[in-house]
A = this chain, B = another copy of it.
Amino acid sequence: MSKFIYLFKEADQSMKNLLGGKGANLGEMTSLDLPIPQGFTVSTEACTQYYDDGQKINETIKKQVFEALAKTEKIVNKKFGDNENPFLVSVRSGARASMPGMMDTILNLGLNDEAVIGLAKQTDNERFAYDSYRRFITMFSDVVMEISKSNYEKIFDAKKEEKGIKLDTDLTAEDLKEIVEAFKAKYKEIKGEEFPQDPKDQLITAIEAVFRSWDNPRAQYYRRMNNIPYEWGTAVNVQSMVFGNMGDTSGTGVAFTRNPATGEKELYGEYLFNAQGEDVVAGIRTPKPISELEDDNKAIYNEFLEISSKLEQHYKDMQDLEFTIEKGKLYILQTRNGKRTAQAALKIAIDMVEEGLLNEKEAVLKVEPKQLDTLLHPQFDPKALESAEVITTGLNASPGAATGKVVFSSERATEMSENGDTVILVREETSPEDIEGMSVAEGVLTARGGMTSHAAVVARGMGTCCVAGAHEVRVNEEELFFIIKGKKYKEGDYISLDGSTGKVYGEKVKTMEATVSGDFAKLMKWADKFRALNVRANADNKRDASQAYDFGAEGIGLCRTEHMFFEGSRIKAVREMIVAKTVEEREKALNKLLPMQKKDFVELYEAMQGFPVTIRYLDPPLHEFLPNDKEDIEDLAKDLGITFDELNSTINELHETNPMLGHRGVRLSITYPEIAVMQTRAVIEAAIEVNKKGLKVKPEIMIPLVSELKELKYVKAEVVKTADAIIKEAGVELEYSVGTMIEIPRACLTADDIAKEAEFFSFGTNDLTQMGFGFSRDDAGKFLADYYKKNIFNDDPFAHIDQKGIGRLMKIAVEDGRKTRPDIKLGICGEHGGDPASVEFCHNIGLSYVSCSPFRVPIARLAAAQANIKNPRK
């Protein structure tokens, strides 16, 4: 029979997959002899079993739960369901990867009408007992029974108003007794039955609720964003309660061993006396900074300092701790590697090397590559800031610069950003339901909550700019406006946030480009030492190419020449080419494009300073260059000197049922080889010109959409004939190569053939994913939402390479291509080239380089280093 339950003392750090991060760390800390309230972990396998059994906890698991419970009772010397000395527990989720705030927690479980009396007697603290009971009723109702908390909050707030008090802590035991009665009545009113009194039932239904929460919409969204498989499941930790709400010698708090926003080496956190954990994170009362604990209770502070330092040394990473003080005794409730900003991640990694805690390789592994994203996007232009009006200042909860239109709900944020707007989400305070809105927003502004509030923690994790706890902001979420000092800001108005200073501006503020310097540059230098993959950029113009060069790109992996065809006088020549009736007419139009195209390439070669430049020949179907509506067609016809009907019939002829699967890529060059000839002239003449200036350019000509050797052979013959004639004519030496995009399944399957002609392969994983899965990106949006909801897909195959299917095609192509041409150059230029997980995959299958958008170049460099550290290339 499978073992589904582990006592903390049976567990350790290595059991993370089975017991989740929280469970494994509670085990580890138990073995380190730290003050851990004891308990047990229901494993992730039990979660999988729960789903396999049709969302039911089976008898085997139940039996093991109660056995573990019995063992824990012996350890804590209390009895579950005992009315004299009741044993209360917390029930908390804990997945393999930390997913803060995504799943559910229930505290004070085990209480009922009799146990509360026992608890009051036993602790001699009636107020505490009923405070715990009202908390338990609220949480249990919310999490397990799906009764909204607001039902209870109304009663609670009414009582505070009736008594004329502000703070929860001012409520008396009597008040709380009445509140509990009212809560129970409310529960009965809604559910039509009494609040559950059997602690064992409470426990099993609570565990079920946590399992269920693994698949709630916000957890699904978080998993997809973070590439966490549904199959992992969550563990559940059942831990004996210690109480921060036993009066003024009790309290609870959270702390980071270093500053998670800046990386400074200082204990950083908040705590509240006479409170339970939810009070700190929910931002209901404003907590005190952890440094004040030293004054409040120096012994406890020192003990905590020692423990946190010990844990940081032990885990070799910055720790995020939860603790509770029960009547003057310190307990650690959990520890985990803390979420941090990109700046902090860099600083911590570098400091730890200087402190001797890490070596350079380990340091490189400590920074999440995709986090760097926040450092690579524009910052406010300091000049523009001088004149911008600061309307208020809040906490600098997550750094970055954000400008956008105000929205007040997650739904509107999603809607407006889908319409192309950049938005700032403004909320009284955020809750887990806001996660989608936060991820699409440029920035988040909250009126309440501290540095460890939901908004702050989640925004930092996402790399979204956040200003939290801006108390001057009065938000009216119903009527869609907020007021600062009497001034009203409505939905759609522009504001700007500086997440590094906490300042809020009442207008659009100009931004400027990021640079790589300081800690960032230092870590990138280490990364470059360890990586085996080259990193190139996808760039179609001088500006992007220069940006890429500054970010460390070692070449251009993809220049999409069609992007050069849309500008003013060019589009006209392109259109003339399309409507041409003969090869001669077409060549005439192409000759107009030639000098412009040549200039493009000169600029690119110069920007890349001799690094290789891969130029992809015309790819999209020709109808993309023609207008659609009647008026535009009329104008163009006039412009081209042909009749409306003539042009219209050309447009109709070019119409395609499935343009993705139509007349494009190499297929164009086969029908109109003169296009490839013109592009070759431009590529080669530009290279000759630039080389005369002393650079040593070696152009790489890339033919797209090849599915069959003979396609490439035909076009390559035209290219080589043209190129060699120009080179001979010029009397110079010039090396160039001709290769192909591998972006059609059949190209992978016949790579041994194609490599006979192709001097390099560059995987176009966007199209490969579309064709391999048989759905187009444009159309998949409609049904992929259902796929995520029903856990058919864990994540977006356009964001992360699907290793099982699409990756297998790539592996076939790599192996077979190398069989034919052992020194074939292999790269990737799909958008996956900047995704860390995909970069790791590309490293593992033996590619030579990845190419991505300029802003993702540093991410790819770091990801490539991590891949090679984990799996060194021979």
Contacts and interface: CB of A to CB of B under 8 A. Distances in A.
Interface of A: 656-663, 667, 670-671, 705, 707-708, 710-711, 714, 743-746, 749-750, 753, 767, 770-776, 778-780, 782-783, 786-787, 790-793, 802, 804-806, 808-809
Contacts of A743: 774
Contact of A707 (B767, B773, B809): B773
A605 to B, nearest CB: 31
A773 B746 contact: yes
B792 A711 contact: yes
Given A670-B790, A710-B791, A711-B792, A774 B805 contact: no
B708 A793 contact: yes
A778 B657 CA distance: 7
A659 B670 CA distance: 26
7 contacts: A658-B776, A710-B793, A744-B772, A745-B772, A749-B808, A749-B809, A753-B804
A224 to B, nearest CB: 14
B792 A714 contact: yes
Contact of A770 (B656, B661, B705, B783): B661
Contacts of A792: 670, 708, 710-711, 714
Contacts of A744: 772-774
Among A662, A711, A774, A804: residue with most chain B CB under 10 A = A774
A462 B658 CA distance: 33
Given A663-B779, A670-B790, A746-B802, 17 more contacts: A656-B778, A657-B776, A658-B658, A658-B659, A658-B661, A661-B775, A663-B783, A708-B792, A710-B793, A714-B790, A745-B745, A746-B806, A749-B804, A749-B805, A749-B808, A750-B805, A753-B804
Contacts of A802: 746
A790 B714 CA distance: 8
Nearest to A774: B744
Contacts of A791: 710
Contacts of A671: 783, 786
Given A708-B793, A772-B745, A783 B667 contact: yes
A661 B663 contact: no
A670 B783 contact: yes
A615 to B, nearest CB: 21
Contact of A705 (B670, B774, B776): B774
B661 A779 contact: yes
Contact of A661 (B714, B774, B804, B806): B774
A786 B670 contact: yes
Contacts of A711: 792
Contact of A779 (B662, B771, B778, B782): B662
Contacts of A808: 749-750
A872 to B, nearest CB: 28
Contacts of A790: 670, 714
A792 B709 CA distance: 8
Contacts of A745: 745, 771-772, 774, 805, 809
Contacts of A786: 670-671
Closest 6 CB pairs of A and B: A746-B805, A661-B776, A744-B774, A657-B778, A658-B776, A662-B779
Nearest to A711: B792
B779 A774 contact: no
Contacts of A753: 804
Nearest to A661: B776
A786 B670 CA distance: 7
A791 B805 CA distance: 32
A338 B491 CA distance: 84
A765 to B, nearest CB: 13
A622 to B, nearest CB: 11
Contacts of A787: 670
Contacts of A779: 656-659, 661-663
